[in-house]
Amino acid sequence: MINNLTISGVKYELTDTTKKYVTKKIGALDKYLPRHARKSVSADVKIKQIGNPDGNKYEVEVMINVPDKVITAKDSTMNVLAAVDIVEAKLSTQLRKYKESTVPHIGFRRHLAKLKRSYQREN
CA distance 2 to 64: 10
Residues 6+ apart with CB under 8 A from 18: 47, 80, 81
Q: What is the CATH number of the domain that holds 116?
A: 3.30.160.100
User: Which phi and psi (to 5°) does residue 40 adopt?
Assistant: -100, 10
Number of domains the chain is built from:
1
Question: Which pLDDT does position 62 carry in this prediction?
Answer: 98
Average pLDDT over residues 109-120: 69
* Residues 67, 65, 4, 9, Cα dihedral to 10°: 180
Phi/psi for 23 (5° steps) reads: -65, -40
Distance between the two ends of the chain, CA-based, in angstroms? Answer: 48
Rounded-to-10 torsion of CA 73, 67, 33, 25? -40
Q: Convert the pLDDT of each residue in 38-80 to its tens digit.
A: 999 999 999 999 987 778 899 999 999 999 999 999 999 999 9
Domain extent at residue 63? 4-122
Q: What is the pTM of this model?
A: 0.83
Task: State how far the Cα of 96 lies from the Cα of 98, in Å rounded to an integer.
Answer: 5
